[in-house]
Homo-oligomer: A and B are copies of this chain.
């Protein structure tokens, strides 16, 4: 008489390579075959592997992070065909819950090596590093970053519907142009389609080859569908409105985060985990026109951790870089400076800079665009919650250096 237990629309195995699981894929392409069908208004559970597909271990070395194979990521679960969805519709995705997998109560935060992925501060912190986080109910703590503990604002880093062929072509055009323009730089500026290690679910060899050749990488997010947006408060209880570009929507989700700070600055910076997400799907017919929508919108859920405004220390940063160079209204430079200010503040307690870099990536820090009009300085702020520390970090209390151990580093 009562409601049935919720159906799993997909289950994953942690014991089997991600590349061999038909409900996973690692490129955006309209031709990846659906791994299942979901009714309009249905609520289902969907399991996800961690985004690296199990490349990172619960240990005290960052060798795995240093050598991570980025051609294989992100492993997303899906795509799912949503009944009645058509191009021009909006898919309303209500996130009823996200949880770690019962038998894997841990996650990781990594800093990529500058030569393999890098991160927001890789000019200054080029080495690979890692922290393992243990989950105890709604809280997490790390043996690699002592003195902190916080409740997760758990969310998917990636969710979206498949691009149409036209949209995919546009992505490849504009990102290809950027790559061409920047070919003189010594760093990757975008990731072009990559046939190596492509996984297209249950696709035939032909389709798989096509997906490898054309398919968009899961890094970065893109305006037309959201995708890898890495938004920290797109969490439990959120209602997300996603544009639909192909028949059946072909929704995919993955990259689950136990917690993330605004910016996810160390790149592999949230607390990455395998888990299960519970979603209700509803199709809004002709929603894109009705909402005047070009990019996804969302309404957060009601349960994010609350510290009170007066329990944050806010740091300011401006678009003058660490070499004294003035940049013109460059919010990215400003946010980098803001991050450095927090590192300088916290290292007074005995933390290594890499520990703080990892922490700011995954703890619930608030990153705000403050002023963006006073030429030439963009100003950004980062709010650091004092209550995640088990000692007093307020500016009024003198800092004492403590033994803070170490995060995991690569072997050399």
Q: Which chain B positions have C-beta within 8 A of A59? A: 1-2
Q: Which chain B positions have C-beta within 8 A of A96? A: 136-139
Residues 294-311 (chain A) with a chain B CB within 8 angstroms? 294-311
Closest to A231 in B: B370
Cβ–Cβ contact B292 & A58, under 8 A = no
A222 to B326, CA, bound (A): 10
A68 to B194, CA, bound (A): 54
A89 to B393, CA, bound (A): 19
Q: Which chain B positions have C-beta within 8 A of A308? A: 302, 306-308, 311, 387
Among the listed B1, B230, B326, B331, which residue makes an inter-chain contact with A174, where contact means beta carbons less than 8 Å apart? B326
Q: Pick the interface stretch among A13-21, A24-32, A76-84, A343-351.
A: A343-351
A315 to B229, CA, bound (A): 11
A109: interface (CB < 8 Å): no
Cβ–Cβ contact B299 & A306, under 8 A = no
A125: interface (CB < 8 Å): no
Closest to A158 in B: B374
Cβ–Cβ contact A294 & B344, under 8 A = yes
A355: interface (CB < 8 Å): no
Given contacts A231-B379, A348-B292, A370-B232, contact A326 B177 (CB under 8 A): yes
Cβ–Cβ contact A119 & B278, under 8 A = no
Interface string of A355-381 (1 = CB under 8 A from B): 000000000001111111111111111
Among the listed B301, B309, B376, B383, which residue makes an inter-chain contact with A309, where contact means beta carbons less than 8 Å apart? B301
Q: Pick the interface stretch among A195-203, A205-213, A244-252, A316-324.
A: A316-324
A292 to B401, CA, bound (A): 13
A267 to B318, CA, bound (A): 16
A371 to B74, CA, bound (A): 16
Q: Which chain B positions have C-beta within 8 A of A306? A: 302-304, 306, 308-310
Cβ–Cβ contact B58 & A2, under 8 A = yes
A234 to B278, CA, bound (A): 26
A405 to B382, CA, bound (A): 38
A319 to B33, CA, bound (A): 30
28 residue pairs bridging A and B, Cβ less than 8 Å apart: A5-B103, A97-B136, A97-B138, A120-B372, A137-B236, A138-B237, A151-B302, A174-B320, A189-B376, A190-B375, A190-B376, A221-B377, A230-B370, A230-B373, A231-B314, A231-B316, A232-B370, A263-B373, A267-B373, A267-B374, A295-B341, A296-B316, A297-B341, A297-B395, A303-B306, A306-B310, A331-B334, A331-B335
Q: A43-B136, A230-B373 are in contact. List 11 more A-B contacts (CB 8 A).
A: A1-B60, A151-B303, A190-B326, A230-B371, A262-B370, A291-B399, A293-B344, A298-B316, A299-B394, A302-B305, A308-B387
